Structure 1
Amino acid sequence: MRLLSLLLSRLFESIVVFCMCTMVILVFFNVVLRYGFNSGIALSDEGARYLFVWLTFIGAVVALRDNAHLGIDLLYRRLPALGQRVCAVLAEVMMLFCCGLFLVGSYKQTVINMDNLSPVAELPLGLMYAAGVVCSLGMAAIIIKRLYLLLFRHVDPDQVMPLSPEDALISEVSK
């Protein structure tokens, strides 16, 4: 299971890097061609748009894995251990519910837009919405793992959702 998790993490990170690099190269060469040679890459705008959408959604999965999303834990940190556990479980359940809603909506939009083609590349627009399906499935897997650790392994919520390096430093200094 850990090997699969590691492989998926590396795959998602590689997709983010690939999307970013390809997007930068496409847009850079398009700008050079437009201003230097009065021509351009027709696929550049649509390609960059598709890549940006995938970069954003896959990056959100990577950020969730690394606990890099913004969070306000002022009240959470003041709760006793049991309160923190209950709060963490409730937060994970609500996020899982939102992932379910997002999965259903993204899947419906993917199916609806598979017959619609983009004007230049003639790629199905459903491919753009498919990023939402992959994102919600990836996030749901991470959330289910966290819920399992919280509920059945009785892992401390701080180990499942550790503090950011900045918050850890602040809590060390304040002790």
Structure 2
Amino acid sequence: MRHEDRGGHLPVHPAEAGRAARRARRQAPRRAQDAGRTLSGTVIDRFIERLTRWIEIALAAALVIAVILNFASVVGRYVFGVAVVGSDEVQIFLMVWIAFLGAAVVTWREQHLRMDVLVGFFPNPVQKAVRAGEAIALFVLACVVVWQSAGFVRQMMAVDRRSDAAGMPMAVPHAAVTVGFLLIALIALRRLRR
């Protein structure tokens, strides 16, 4: 029977201390590897979370600007009889950016509409496999869209195509597709690594 010493610690038999030390040495590399993986995962996740918050702020600002432009356009047209030139185009371009950057935010937050009732009945390993399959499919699809849309943006830049009323480069609204799906591809890749 063991008795506590004055310091409140149990006396340890030398053989037990040796076994504990050997066990700690064997587990140290595994713990360090796990800690490194967790650390890098949390650093990446924190970066993406911070980026997502900034994107949400930018999206809110873009929505406010679009509403103000719409209000100014309506007041100018119906009250003063003067049209705000290009405001309709700028509103549409802002909405395009809101849609595609918003899709990236929703992808990171995993808030897309999905039919997962059936998957919930499967065992955990099957659910993980389905989630991995979703991430792979999303990554491939997003990469295809990025490739195609980036080519189109390059074409718009090469011919310097501009919008009719506002005179904005048409590469700007088309780049929203590229940027949004690039973020979605990176998020899908991050999900695969989890």
Q: Give the CA RMSD over aligned residues.
A: 1.2
Q: Which amino acid aligns with 1:130?
A: A
**Structure whose CA Rg is larger:** 2
Moved more, 4-13 or 100-109: 4-13
Q: Which amino acid aligns with 1:142?
A: I
Q: Does 1:16 align with 2:59?
A: yes
Among the aligned pairs, what percent are the same residue?
28
Q: What is the aligned partner in structure 1 of residue 139 from structure 2? A: 96
Q: Does 1:139 align with 2:181?
A: no
- The answer to whether the 8 Å contact 1:20/1:51 transfers is yes
Q: State the distance in 1 between where 2:103 and 2:59 align.
A: 10
Q: What is the aligned partner in structure 2 of residue 120 from structure 1? A: 165
- The answer to whether the 8 Å contact 2:104/2:180 transfers is yes
Q: What is the aligned partner in structure 1 of residue 38 from structure 2? A: none
Q: Which runs of 5+ in 1 are unaligned?
A: 150-175
Q: What is the aligned partner in structure 2 of residue 111 from structure 1? A: 154
How many residue pairs are counted as aligned between the two chains? 149
- The answer to whether the 8 Å contact 2:87/2:166 transfers is no
Moved more, 114-123 or 88-97: 114-123
Q: State the distance in 2 between where 1:82 and 1:68 align.
A: 22
Q: State the distance in 2 between where 1:6 and 1:63 align.
A: 12
Q: What is the aligned partner in structure 2 of residue 68 from structure 1? A: 111
Q: Which runs of 5+ in 2 are unaligned?
A: 1-42
TM-score by length of 2: 0.73
| CA deviation string 1:9-55 (max 9, x = no partner) | 12211221111000000001110111111112102111101101001
| CA deviation string 1:62-85 (max 9, x = no partner) | 111112211000221111111111
Q: What is the aligned partner in structure 1 of residue 120 from structure 2? A: 77
Q: State the distance in 2 between where 1:93 and 1:5 align.
A: 19
- The answer to whether the 8 Å contact 1:30/1:44 transfers is yes
Q: State the distance in 1 between where 2:173 and 2:83 align.
A: 23
Q: What is the aligned partner in structure 1 of residue 5 from structure 2? A: none
TM-score by length of 1: 0.81
* Aligned with residue 89 of structure 2, among 46, 50, 53: 46
| Structure 1 stretches of 4+ moved >4 Å | none
Q: Which amino acid aligns with 1:44?
A: S
Q: What is the aligned partner in structure 1 of residue 76 from structure 2? A: 33
